Amino acid sequence: MASKLEALEQWVNQAAALTRPAQIHWCDGSDAEYQTLVQQMLADGTLIELNQQTHPGCYLHRSHPSDVARVEQLTLVCHPDKDDAGPNNHWMAPAEAHAKIDALFDGCMEGRTMYVIPYCMGPIDSPLARCGVEITDSPYVVANMKIMTRMGAAAQARIEREGSFVKGLHSVGELDPARRWIMHFPAELSIKSYGSGYGGNALLGKKCHALRIASHQARSEGWLAEHMLIVGIENPRGETHYVAAAFPSACGKTNLSMLIPPEGYLRDGWKVWTVGDDICWMRPGADGRLYAINPEAGFFGVAPGTSDATNHNALKSISHDTIFTNVAVTADNQPWWEGLPGTPVTDWQGRPYDPANGPAAHPNSRFTVSAKQCPTWSEMAEAPQGVPISAIVFGGRRPSLLPLVMEARDWTHGVLMGAAMGSETTAAATGAVGVLRRDSMAMKPFCGYHYGDYFAHWLSFDRPGAKLPKVFHVNWFRKGADGKFLWPGFGDNLRVLEWMINRAEGRVSGVETPIGILPGEGELKLDGLKLDRARLDELLDVDNAGWQAELSAIGEYLESFAPRLPERLRQEQQRVARALEDDA
Ligand code: GDP
Ligand code: PGA
Ligand code: MN
């Protein structure tokens, strides 16, 4: 039998035979290696040096203008049986998919270096962590993977010990959208990505492995791989509760995970600890609670809107040793985007800034930074056993109807809330922005199998001995008649988190409504906030007629997953619909 190391070498040799690189570099993950790559990318123009006085160790990468976001229509989940991919995924038969993409890979690395990147998703000694190896011809990808994952020698040692790893083959190819595919083969634990250098398409440890492949793996192994931030909320008594929250891309995960408490809370001694900003792997512990790890080691955050007022911690984190992608620059060569003070002189494509060309920074411009640079980085993020989760939160961009916060009456209702999630689309994926679409558990682009089976998997966690977190739904994005957000959001979201924790601890009773439990009179702490009564009432309003229409739309949506839609979920939708009718 081939040794475990040989299995890895064999696969690397196969990939090299197909792509025919001039040389192969095995990444050790060292700082020296990173610096060498940076120097090489500065020399060939892949990276541009930013102002090293104000931003030491910071560089700018300008991507191809047609390669700035995830491409959902080119992202495939290739199960042998089409039904297993579900209507939520694009599918191609594995043999056909391999043939199509291998034809593109054929000789694509000629004259270039092939990098072999062993990485570990999660603390290197965690039983919840999983390893992978990405092969790529992009030094930009290597540098980003070094920041985003535990990459290099330690991961390779774990792979050699365990034998199993996710295989990811990537090439930037010609960066031609007509020659671009992001393919997943869950049954083979493998990913093939061609023709894009963009984060979600090219940093294969992230969405491809930690969500699409891992969600499928998690189903068979009894855990959950979710598109969730993880944040620790420490109250003045020194008790910390961990909350996991699923919002679609560019809907506030990074911001919530690093929020700064409002002034009154700070005075009282509240603290917020960042465990993760995008992905959460969780599994029931011996005590029946769900324990979560953040599989990542860095943040790949949306730059626009990140400011001292909205996300001071992110801004602090990215003041040094950060890779910026598609941001603008100022006259003194500092990175710039909409929401920052100062003026851009060069836009994200390197042109002199002209407002007629649109925003200076691309709306999906990003920063890549080590999580260790975040002032609120939690030491529990390194804990191999993970952190116990007290509350699970779902939410999206809903300009109307959805209240600021509501709580599910039980787990089944919580799964319905997650499945029913909707949100306006954002610039994180190509296509129209601001269109309402269903995005169950914020996993529409990331669930590696049939949503009907996924809902059933979620429901299966409700079993004897389980001590499940309470489930909530939030909406920071409800708008008033004036078209402005009703809720101030950002740091003030802690007020809503405190209510959730009070609910989890049984300290407040809430008010039952047909759609769930809402905060009772005086239960949301609003002191120090300029929010008039009328706006608060609007934020917590339950419009019965609007909700009846919503429930019928949810019912229709759920039926699109029949015959795999769990009957329990169908009945739960019917229960809420009836409760609304009875209350009309
Ligand atoms: P992620 O992609 O889910 O991590 O989302 P981010 O945290 O990067 O936020 C995406 C965008 O939503 C940014 O422009 C933020 O400024 C904005 N945003 C985040 N949180 C809030 C909030 O509480 N209220 C409002 N109005 N906007 C927010
Ligand atoms: P995010 O993810 O927007 O959820 O942070 C990055 C991506 O879309 O690739
Ligand atoms: Mn984010």
pLDDT per position as a tens digit, 543-561: 999 999 999 999 999 999 9
| ipTM of the modeled complex | 0.96
Is the pLDDT at 443 greater than 90, yes or no? Answer: yes
Which residue positions form the known binding site for Mn(2+)?
A: 207, 227, 278
| pLDDT tier for residue 134 given thresholds of 50, 70 and 90 | very high
Residue nearest to ligand 1 atom 13, measured at CA = 305
| pLDDT tier for residue 6 given thresholds of 50, 70 and 90 | confident
Ligand 1 pocket test: pick from 251, 280, 496 the residue with the most ligand atoms within 8 Å of its Cβ. 251
Q: How far is the CA of 490 from the centre of ligand 1 (A)?
A: 8
Over residues 112-136, the mean pLDDT reads 98
Dihedral class, residue 536 (left if φ above 0, else alpha if ψ from -120 to 50, else beta): alpha
The response to whether residue 199 sits with its C-beta less than 6 Å from ligand 2 reads yes
pLDDT for 3: 62
Q: Closest ligand 1 atom to the C-alpha of 301?
A: 8
Residues in contact with 377: Cβ distance below 8 Å, sequence separation at least 6, in sequence order = 273, 274, 371
H/E element holding 472? Answer: strand 470-474
Over residues 399-417, the mean pLDDT reads 98
Residue with tokens 């192969």: 24
Q: How far is the CA of 201 from the centre of ligand 2 (A)?
A: 10
**Residues belonging to the chain:** 584
Give pLDDT tens digits for 416-434. 999 999 999 888 888 888 8
| pLDDT tier for residue 1 given thresholds of 50, 70 and 90 | very low
| pLDDT tier for residue 313 given thresholds of 50, 70 and 90 | very high
Which residue positions form the known binding site for substrate?
A: 70, 198-200, 249, 364-366
Instruction: For residue 345, give the 3-state DSSP assignment.
Output: strand
The response to whether residue 70 sits with its C-beta less than 6 Å from ligand 2 reads yes
Give pLDDT tens digits for 44-101. 999 999 999 999 999 999 999 999 999 999 999 999 999 999 999 999 999 999 999 9
Task: Give the binding-site residues of ligand 1, using a 6 Å CB cut-off.
Answer: 247, 249-255, 277, 301-302, 304-305, 310, 476-477, 485, 489-490, 493
Q: How far is the CA of 283 from the centre of ligand 2 (A)?
A: 23
Ligand 2 pocket test: pick from 71, 300, 306 the residue with the most ligand atoms within 8 Å of its Cβ. 300
Ligand 2 pocket test: pick from 278, 362, 366 the residue with the most ligand atoms within 8 Å of its Cβ. 278
pLDDT for 429: 84
pLDDT for 430: 84
Residue nearest to ligand 2 atom 6, measured at CA = 200
Q: Closest ligand 2 atom to the C-alpha of 227?
A: 4
Instruction: For residue 231, give the 3-state DSSP assignment.
Output: strand
Question: How far is the CA of 86 from the CAs of 80, 101, 149, 394, 560, in angstroms?
Answer: 12, 22, 30, 22, 10
Over residues 151-157, the mean pLDDT reads 97
Q: Find the DSSP H helices in 449-543.
A: 451-459, 493-504, 533-539
Query: Is 197 buried (19+), middle (13-18) or exposed (0-12) by CB count in 10 A?
Result: buried
The percentage of residues in the chain with a pLDDT greater than 90, rounded to a whole number, is 96
Mean pLDDT rounded to a whole number for the chain: 97
Positive or negative, the CA dihedral 491, 495, 498, 499 is negative
- C-alpha–C-alpha distance, residues 160 and 79, integer Å: 27
Give pLDDT tens digits for 266-301. 999 999 999 999 999 999 999 999 999 999 999 999
Question: How far is the CA of 499 from the CAs of 262, 391, 451, 490, 507, in angstroms?
Answer: 15, 11, 31, 16, 9
Instruction: For residue 447, give the 3-state DSSP assignment.
Output: coil
Instruction: For residue 243, give the 3-state DSSP assignment.
Output: strand
CA torsion 102-106-109-114 (nearest 10°) is 50
Query: Nearest to residue 197, comparing CAs of 358, 47, 26?
Result: 47
Over residues 113-134, the mean pLDDT reads 98
Instruction: For residue 60, give the 3-state DSSP assignment.
Output: strand
Global pTM reads 0.97
| pLDDT tier for residue 182 given thresholds of 50, 70 and 90 | very high
| pLDDT tier for residue 213 given thresholds of 50, 70 and 90 | very high
Taking CB atoms within 8 Å and a gap of at least 24, the contacts of 311-315 are 311/254, 311/255, 311/258, 311/259, 311/490, 312/260, 313/258, 313/259, 313/260, 313/274, 313/374, 313/375, 313/376, 314/254, 314/255, 314/258, 314/367, 314/374
Ligand at minimal distance from the CA of 72 is: 2
Over residues 121-143, the mean pLDDT reads 98
H/E element holding 192? Answer: strand 190-194
Residues in contact with 230: Cβ distance below 8 Å, sequence separation at least 6, in sequence order = 242, 243, 244, 257, 275, 276, 280, 292, 294, 387, 389
Q: How many helices (H) and strands (E) does the chain have?
A: 17, 29
